[in-house]
Structure 1
Amino acid sequence: MKFQNMIVLALIAVFISLPCVSAAEKDELTSEQIYEKRMDLYKKVETITNVPWHYLAAVDTYERGLRRARKDRSKEDGFISIYYSEEEWAGTFNPNKEDTHPLSIQMFGGVGLDGDGDGLAERTNDEDVLFTMAHFIEGYGFDEEDFRIALWEKYKRDQSVRIVHGHSLVYEKFDTLDLDEHAFPMPLNYNYSYKNTWGDRRGWGGRRIHEGTDIFAGYNVPIRATAYGRVEIKGWNKYGGWRIGIRDLDNIYHYYAHLSGFEKGIEEGSIVAPGDVIGYCGSSGYGKPGTQGKFPPHLHYGMYRDNGITEWSFDPYPSLKQWERKAYQDRKKKNKGSCKYLR
């Protein structure tokens, strides 16, 4: 064990520590620069521990979403969002909750480790935090099932395991962190209409509120994925009819309901990108499997945020308007660029 620790320390010493960046300096960086910094950290720790970078990125991304959704966690100062409480990091019975000495932290049963070789285990140091998480994952193994077991031991929640594992598969497929693009759920060249219907009353199946926005269109208009993500659910729901649920990298669940059918090849577990066709507009639902036509054809589009404990719906209308405006702007730029070659 001592020999293994010596190897780890030697490997750490080979790498030049990445410079610390203040919150103000981070705010001045472009998203591309931030992704580059994060990837440098993931790759460095991958080299030291052999834990795949997309495992580390998946956990970090999940915890970044938790920070956005929960009031008991502040926004991360650095590039890494993985969170450890003071007691977890320093040890429950450690009288010094801000302890940064690896030996005393270990003595009191804390998890904090020195990841950059400076002799300190700091809860606010990106490399220390990422190395601590990688060391934890490494203890269970390196294949997917080992990773899922490690996630269960970390979060003790099946849904959290599914979400983080899904994130890792998305990163593995696209081999990049730059996956922030979104798309409007219908192509612009089709006739459609919608307004803000989130929170309206619904009566079928019992009194409830409308947890989404209805986009009315003709039968079989293509329905598209709005974000990078993984298909969590596909099939029939008595309220939503033929429906698909996709989890994105912000831990948000995108719910597409009342479809007339699914795109060929889309299954539970499929990885999708913005604009990928996943199904077709219809009027299914409000009854047993196959029920159609109880209302005009439309897409019910819902968004649900997960905070590591529970999940709740929120109004998707502002996001839809934003993605629609961006789609029109992109089309205008594309048409303008094409026209110059016709002059």
Structure 2
Amino acid sequence: MKFLKLLLFPFSMVYGLIIWTRNRLFDFQILKSKSYDIPTIVVGNLAIGGTGKSPMTEFIIKLLKDKFKVATLSRGYGRETKGFRLVQTSSTANEVGDEPLQFKNKFPDITVSVCEDRCNGIENLMSTHEVIILDDAFQHRRLNPKFSILLFDYSSCLNPMFVLPMGNFRDLPAERKRADLILVTKTPNNATEREKEYIRSKLIRKSNVQDIIFTTIAYGQLITINGASLQISSHTDILLLTGIANPLPLIQHLKSRVNSIEHLAFRDHHAFDENDIKNIKEKFETIASDQKIILTTEKDAQRIRTPEFLKIFNTIPIAYLPIEIAFEHERIQHSVQDKLLSTCVRSVNES
């Protein structure tokens, strides 16, 4: 495996040079970035895959939605539509993407929108909103946001940070210097202080932040597709469906809480088709238990909440497990909240 990675090193060098050149063109204003008077908060990462952008975006929504007229703006990855689009609770994941649909279902009173051109999206929203939260827009250099939050997955920080295709970074790790706040997410419970100090020293170099903030995943109560709560026990057998980048933390969370887990893993943002539905049903029927359920993530639930899927599984309990971002200490959470609020208040007063 190491030998194969070494073979990819020249391609990573070429890719890295292209990305470095693009970033310098924006830094020297040869390629232009746009700024807006309205507070724009970017949540992003440098690697591909799940670093917890959605829970962080939801954390900001909860903080701001009762104080400002808030809108979220996402690309809408995996959608079959193009251009600017407002998300409705009646929308489908195929129309708007699974994460924006999750935001709208969770916070129906705020504006949720999608647009691959973030500047165009902002210009459609700014006259009727006070704050715009942009999910996964750190690489969108055409926008110069008011505040940028950059997320790193804990495990990725312990390994060498190579760009594609040798590694899993889509942008150069040195670009963290553009972030106003850096969070290390999915910190395991058994993380050592030595590991954390290593990560701090690694990330704080070539960055403008004063401290690295560690966060964990907080799991909520199971909720059925129909919105009811559901309990599991050590006697429960689970067929776990995931179409996310890194399901390992979820599996580790469930292992000590249930009797058994059968895992069907799909690629990130996978759109379930008829063959998938058939295979899922067959797999579920092979589990010899009276206490079995289908469990998925909140993001995946947006893509399986379709008439085709629910028609076949109408008598089978299907639930998802919500997650939230959790900070190591309450004072750290308050510090993050204060930074976000002060940015929004200052920008609103200046505009």
> Does TM, scored on the shorter chain, surpass 0.5?
no
Identify the structure with bigger relative contact order (alpha carbons < 8 Å, sequence gap 6+). Answer: 2
The higher radius of gyration belongs to 1
TM value normalised by structure 2 = 0.28
